[in-house]
Amino acid sequence: MSKRKTATPKIQMRDDLGRSARAVALHMLMRIEEGGAYANVLLRESDDMARLQASDRALVTELVYGTVAWKKRLAYALQAYTERDIATFDGWFRLLLLMAFYQLLFLSRIPPYAVVSETVALAKRFGHDGHAKTANAVLRAYTRDPSRAAPPKTGERVRDLALRLSYPEWLVERWVAQYGEQAAERLMETANAAPRLFVRLNGLKPDAEDVVRRTLAERGATMTPVEGLKRAYVVHGPASVLRDLIEGGWLTVQDVSAQLVAHALRPLPGQRIFDACAAPGGKATHIAELVGDEGEIVAADVHAHKIRRLEREKARLGLRALVVIQEDATAIRRLPRAHFDRVLVDAPCSGLGTLGRKPEIKWRLRPPDLASLAAKQRAILRGVAPYVAPGGLLVYSTCTLNREENEEAVYVFLRETTNFIPDPSLIDDLPDWPNIRAVGPGMVEVWPGETGGDGFFIARLKCIESIPGR
């Protein structure tokens, strides 16, 4: 019997988006799964979200993050209630059922009958009667016997952890080897939690706090300051309420852990500062704000389209001291050597510290990717080192928790050059948070969870003599 063909549901979903939170969520899940989009960007920038009520926007956020983060666990549960291999389901239909199982397994406030009813209706709307009948049969089978959805305990610790907490086995194995089983389990649990929304107020606008707080109150949202970090706030409300405040240059959406990096650089007004991998601009613009837009701040990136984004960020925030250039950090050509008081390498990385905001990363990464990234990071460090002036500081940061990209990259760099030494005073320039811990001389890890921010690694090195020219 030939497989029944149906019209691609994407066009239909776009027509129906404004009427259903679950349809909006499903469309986003398809863009993440099939188009390589990132959950946090879709949720922040989607016009469809703006057409929903506040409660529906919250539901969409919950469904998108939860379904992607728990995909492995949800797929196991779904497979337990059908004899057909779920890999053979239409892509949109499999995502719809995974989203339904997320609600059934993790959202106790939604009655199971409501999940079944809404899911069957969507299956019929975007597919045909066969989809609706399958959805109804699978979900009602779960409501009759929920126990079959529970992950088994095989005694193989890595495999059991990977299924129970929904991670690829290779990543569980790596984190257990690097951090120990208990710490790895805590890290995975934390990374599955929904992220908090952090912003950085523009320090060049003295009335920014009053304007932002008043605007949020008008929209039913609030904000509270982050302890120990100037101009950092957590927003209690959907990201969509910030759109015009962002456009007006009043604030920047930036994770609280990422905001630590500019402070680690210890920037001072009038200094010469180089951000070698600056796009999309969050840290470069933060540096400019911290120094009162005084000095020479060079923000570089290798890609032309990212340079255009940096220029837009500069204009949005009203910065003048920021100079944007296109430059390859591994082979710098146009900058004077031994010129900069501060150099930042916020390196391209695996992003394993950002799984709360970008849960799709754990399904896209492969082990060879980490080795390739580590090699690139070391090349960037070698490339920028000659541009640090004697007595200047070099800060290396990543938004990942993976020692190959973090401590090991720094140790390799220090073995390759005698011109830099670790700066153990780094810890003194950071807030006294329980999730910040030293992992070596001049090196710290920031673990997610305690503050609601991402996982980060920061190292600070001091240049003791210039590197001879080649």
Which residues have a catalytic role annotated?
A: 399
Residue 421: closest CA among 406, 437, 441: 441
Output the DSSP codes for 199-213: EEE-TT-TTHHHHHH
Contact 253, 246 (CB under 8 A): yes
The one-character DSSP state at 435 is T
Buried-exposed string 278-304: b where 16+ CB fall within 10 A, e elsewhere: bbebbbbbbbbbbbebebebbbbbbee
Residue 346: closest CA among 467, 257, 420: 257
Torsion (CA) 350, 354, 355, 360 in degrees, nearest 10:
-60
d(CA 108, CA 111): 7
d(CA 250, CA 257): 20
d(CA 216, CA 219): 5
CA angle 222, 60, 83 (to 5 degrees): 150
C-alpha R_g of the chain: 24
